[in-house]
Amino acid sequence: MAVTSPANTIFIESLNKSYSQHTVGELHYIIKDVDLVVKGGEFFVLLGPSGCGKSTLLNMVAGFVSKSSGNLRVGEAEVGRPGRDRAVVFQQADSSLFPWLTVRENVEFGLRMKRIPRKERTAISDKYIGLVGLTGHEQKFPRELSGGMKQRVQLARVLSNDPAILLMDEPFGALDAMTRKTMQRELASIWRNTDKTVIFVTHDIQEALMLGQRIGIMSAGPSSKITDIYEVPLPYPRDIYAPEFHALYDRIQSHFDE
């Protein structure tokens, strides 16, 4: 099971992101006064309607988008730029995989950059290719893979770099329902065997409940914030037929019916 590590804890205090609206000369807040602590080793889901600012918040934690004001730290370190401690998994694996490299070469890319010797690289890529269920496909190119397999390659590549924090932006959003369920189960199992902190963005309540230890609800934008946080005290793997699952689903759904 994942363990708590203060070094991988994400601290967000009074965080704002605004853009100036030139036409009206005002500030337009995407997110406003966001407060959140994601504990080291925790699986936290950010759930909210389309366009509310989930990706913006995730990209601020990744260091891709600068904050307008507020505090954003990982452990003791202020977040100002991307770092090796944080890795992002995007919805479209296509844009993150190199089409001219095989599965193994894609997974080993970051390890090569770090000049990890070949033998060690192979051992690491074997481990993560196995973990995401792609053993036997090492020599294939992205064009020879299904969408779900490409997403697995992306995940294996990110995991092989061993970031302390995984930032996942609707990573299974483009997959068919069956593959999506498999990937959710596998991700939950991978996370339980590591000490990684995960922030997972989705607008799918069922997916949020399949994965998260806690679920943060973001209000519709502009000036979006995290209005409620739900604990999900259900064991993994989650049973979507459990009455407790349904009860939580209904409670969360009611936020979006209002």
Distance, CA of 75 to CA of 79 (rounded, Å) = 10
What's the burial of 231, exposed, middle or buried (CB within 10 Å: 0-12/13-18/19+)?
exposed
| DSSP H helical ranges for the chain | 54-62, 103-113, 118-131, 147-160, 177-192, 205-211, 243-257
| 33 Ramachandran zone, left/alpha/beta (phi>0; psi -120 to 50) | left
Stretch binding ligand ATP (CB under 6 A), from 7-15, 44-52, 104-112, 123-131: 44-52
Does residue number 95 form part of the binding site for ligand ATP (CB under 6 A)? no
The least CB distance from residue 193 to ligand ATP, in Å, is 29
The least CB distance from residue 129 to ligand ATP, in Å, is 29
Does residue number 52 form part of the binding site for ligand ATP (CB under 6 A)? yes
Does residue number 163 form part of the binding site for ligand ATP (CB under 6 A)? no
The least CB distance from residue 219 to ligand ATP, in Å, is 11
CB 199 within 8 A of CB 51: no
Give me the long-range contacts of 232-240 (CB less than 8 A, separation at least 24).
234/209, 236/188, 236/189, 236/192, 237/185, 237/188, 237/189, 238/188, 238/209, 238/210, 238/211, 240/206, 240/209, 240/210
CB 188 within 8 A of CB 236: yes
The least CB distance from residue 209 to ligand ATP, in Å, is 18
Q: Which of 2, 12, 29, 54 binds ligand ATP (CB under 6 A)?
A: 54
Q: Which is nearer to ligand ATP, 16 or 125 (CB)?
A: 16
193-232 positions binding ligand ATP, by CB under 6 A = 203, 221
For residue 125, give both structure tokens. 């890529």
Distance, CA of 89 to CA of 186 (rounded, Å) = 15
CB 56 within 8 A of CB 25: no
The least CB distance from residue 56 to ligand ATP, in Å, is 3
Does residue number 147 form part of the binding site for ligand ATP (CB under 6 A)? no
Q: Which is nearer to ligand ATP, 133 or 222 (CB)?
A: 222
Q: Which is nearer to ligand ATP, 19 or 100 (CB)?
A: 19
Q: Which is nearer to ligand ATP, 52 or 149 (CB)?
A: 52
Stretch binding ligand ATP (CB under 6 A), from 50-58, 180-188, 209-217, 249-257: 50-58
**# of chain residues touching ligand ATP (CB under 6 A):** 12
Binding site for ligand ATP (CB under 6 A): 19, 30, 48, 50-56, 203, 221
